[in-house]
């Protein structure tokens, strides 16, 4: 978490003739959003897709499943990502309807240079999930292992 944008920058510099696409959650993106300055300064054509559910969703799910619904610091107070990107001279737009996903992705891919697209999404459980104190070979990989959970359902 918090490594997507710097990794995308490195991948783009190492592969200048390739399309680099970052798919990042809002919480992760918030940790390194200052690197938009680097993308702008070097005009790196990274395509950034922010999945904005206004929440630290994996932590929220952990707190729901394993810590008796004790929620601490899982709601995000996010900037306006479109305006933020534009302040760095990066093309950007918002996708807030599922009917616009395909056209938004197409527009993102057609845009020359760097572009940021903010996708407003509904919080959902993200799998696989490793419970506290468990090993990777004990990870939860199926919704049926955690559902029904009020407020969290597969889409």
Residue 112 maps to which CATH number? 3.40.50.970
Cα distances from 71 to residues 55, 63, 75, 123, 147, in angstroms, run 11, 6, 9, 15, 19
Query: Residue 32 belongs to what domain range?
Result: 4-145
- Predicted model pTM: 0.85
- What is the tens place of the pLDDT at every residue in 4-57? 999 999 999 999 999 999 999 999 999 999 999 999 999 999 999 999 999 888
48 occurs within a structural domain: yes
155 occurs within a structural domain: no
111 occurs within a structural domain: yes
Tally of domains in the chain: 1
124 occurs within a structural domain: yes
152 occurs within a structural domain: no
To the nearest whole percent, how much of the chain has pLDDT over 90? 64
What DSSP assignment string belongs to 3-33?
Answer: -HHHHHHHHHHH-TTS--EEEEEHHHHHTTG
């Amino acid at each position: 978490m918090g490594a997507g944008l710097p990794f995308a920058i490195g991948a783009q510099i190492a592969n200048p003739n390739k399309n680099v696409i970052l798919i990042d959650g809002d919480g992760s993106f918030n940790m390194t959003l200052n690197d938009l300055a680097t993308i702008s300064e070097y005009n790196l054509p990274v395509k950034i897709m922010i999945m904005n559910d206004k929440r630290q969703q994996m932590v929220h799910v952990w707190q729901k499943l394993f810590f008796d619904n004790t929620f601490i610091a899982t709601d995000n107070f996010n900037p306006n990502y479109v305006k933020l990107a534009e302040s760095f001279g990066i093309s950007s737009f918002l996708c807030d309807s599922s009917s616009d996903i395909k056209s938004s992705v197409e527009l993102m891919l057609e845009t020359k240079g760097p572009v940021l697209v903010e996708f407003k999404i509904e919080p959902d459980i993200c799998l696989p999930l490793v419970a506290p104190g468990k090993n990777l070979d004990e990870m939860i990989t199926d919704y049926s292992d955690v559902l029904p959970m009020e407020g969290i359902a597969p889409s």
